[in-house]
Amino acid sequence: MKRWKKMGCLGVLLLVAAACCTAPVLLSAVAGQASAGQGAPPSAGAAGIPQRMLTAYLTGAAQVTAHVPECRGMRWQILAGIARVESDHAQGRQITPVGDITPPVIGPRLDGSGAGGNTTAIPDTDGGRWDGDSEFERAVGPFQFLPATFVANGVDGNADGALSPHNADDAAASAAVYVCGRGRNLTDRAQLRAALYTYNASWAYVDDVLSGIDRYDSLGNTPAVPSGNVGTLIAAALAQQGVPYSWGGGGPSGPTTGICCSPGGQDGRTVTGFDCSGLTQYAYAQAGITLPRTAAAQAGAGQRIPAAAGFAALQPGDLVFYGYSPTADSTIHHVGIYVGDGKMINAPRPGKSVRIDPVTAMPDYAGGARPL
């Protein structure tokens, strides 16, 4: 399973068409989810999720109580948060109208060698049926089930009479069943955290998945833009949504190509866009404020807001910082612009675009600054 990697801004190199529903259950399940009060989902583009995978998350969440009647609070955002970390929503693969994914998503061999991060050997249980390995296990599908775990929790998510972890509908519905356990209340944050920990016994993993869930929860809820200079800079930043991240890119005049290379390997010279501090520099320039180029240096602009004051101390327009130590500005690796309602406009990392994120999208909050 993937692990969260920090992707800092320039200057900090410490670490870093909708698919047809072919089975009646799909349409009825989506309708059932909407009637359960979860509301209409965002566009797949806004969520950054392939349309066919989003359909699978919707239907998987909607039908879970048919399998775990006592489960409460399962929703598509939870499934999307897990699959984002496990397989990046099977990005780059072909997904048929019935949900079959090719090539299949198969994890590293769990032979205890340390390759791929595994240190415990897990002997084969499926004869290589799903993972192609008849000696040791490999995690399979967009939700990276071990074959034995899928056998214990697998359900036929699209009612086609076949069951496979490499089918988006089956995998999503099975993940919903697994996370629900014997009937958890997933509206309770503590129970949700515990459920995610059973999926992968790592609190770093839990925090990574929750950051994705929080972002998906926030889609479609853009805060109102205030007036004055604060409104000017927020509007300027919001207008850049969809512009790609470029390592070292952007500045007071707008998006530019960047430099080589990010901790994740992106060559910014090939991408026109913004990194996090390039975006903040641009937005503040529209309000007549000159900011330094790096996130760490921007922490010295205006009134500093300590991390100990919490997110409640932030006001729209404030810079929002993340660092390896909340009290040492030199360790700041990321910055966004607070837009209110617990959200920020953010250039998150290579491969992503400028977007609205919850301020909890990153775990190492280091306070804020108020240049205006």
**What residues have CB less than 8 Å from 39, skipping those under 6 apart?**
none
Q: Cis ω on the peptide bond leading into residue 103 (within 30° of 0)? A: yes
Active site residue 346: yes
Active site residue 260: no
| Per-residue CA distances from 290 to 180, 192, 225, 331 (Å) | 50, 43, 21, 22
- For the stretch 305-314, contacts whose Cβ atoms lie closer than 8 Å and that sit 24 or more positions apart, written own/partner, are 305/367, 305/368, 305/369, 305/370, 306/367, 307/365, 307/366, 307/367, 308/367, 309/367, 311/342, 311/359, 311/360, 311/365, 313/368, 314/338, 314/359, 314/368
| Given 118, 158, 167, 346, the catalytic residue | 346
Please, are residues 103 and 231 in contact by the beta-carbon 8 Å criterion? no
| Given 9, 71, 180, 276, the catalytic residue | 276
Of 158, 346, 182, nearest to 250 by C-alpha is 346
Q: How far is CA 344 from the centre of its chain?
A: 15
Active site residue 276: yes
| Given 89, 166, 333, 334, the catalytic residue | 334
Q: Which two tokens stand for residue 363?
A: 């775990």
C-alpha span between 280 and 347 (Å, rounded): 9
Report the catalytic residues. 276, 334, 346
